[in-house]
Amino acid sequence: MTRIIGLTGGIGSGKSTVAFYIASKGIPVYIADEEAKKLMDSKVIIKKIQAIFEESILTDEGNLDRKKIGSIVFNTPEKLAQLNNIVHPEVKKHFENWVKQHKNQPFVVKEVAILFETGGNLTCDKVIMVTAPEEIRIERAMKRDSVDRESIVNRIKNQLPEEEKIKKSDFVVYNTDLQNTYNEIDKILKILTKT
């Protein structure tokens, strides 16, 4: 039975960098946000998503205007919940099929930003949490997404507090120095390979 290792961390924590590092070791990594974006491009899902918004959230080409959706849902928790109720079941189904394709692996890694918030941790055998001091995370996210501080702070408020996620995780990686982070991940992978 292939074990599922959850990989999570708040915005700007560096969990994507960690996910790519793990994948470079030949371990299958499922990036939930990436897969969700692809699934949201299907006409059926676009229609369902448009139905929950009063105004048009489509581009002139008929695709989802992700920036517009983001600015609405991060300021309106009930809209975010409605969007998640459409997207999460689709991602769950897609992930289950993906795991079947990797059934010969001892374990796979599922990278999810809001793993605990969605209860996704309950389907994981172990959870790796990537974290960093909040100020560093805010600066990284502002630089990466070219957005203002307030937008990042609002997104952080929509996520479970770091302390709670740390308590619920099996492994915690403090990502302030990249080489140290990689060394920590190597140790964790060794432990996971042995168990």
Residues that constitute the known binding site: 12-17
Q: The tokens 């070219």 sit on which residue? A: 146
Q: Residue 174: left if φ>0, alpha if ψ -120 to 50, beta else—which one?
A: beta
Q: The tokens 């919940």 sit on which residue? A: 81
Residues that constitute the known binding site for ATP: 12-17
> What's the N-to-C CA distance of the chain in angstroms?
13
Residue 37 corresponds to which amino acid? K
Q: Which residues are within 8 A (CB) of 53 and not within 5 positions of it... i.e. 6 or more apart?
A: 69, 72, 79
DSSP 27-88: --EEEHHHHHHHHTTSHHHHHHHHHT-SS--B-TTSSB-HHHHHHHHTT-HHHHHHHHHHHH
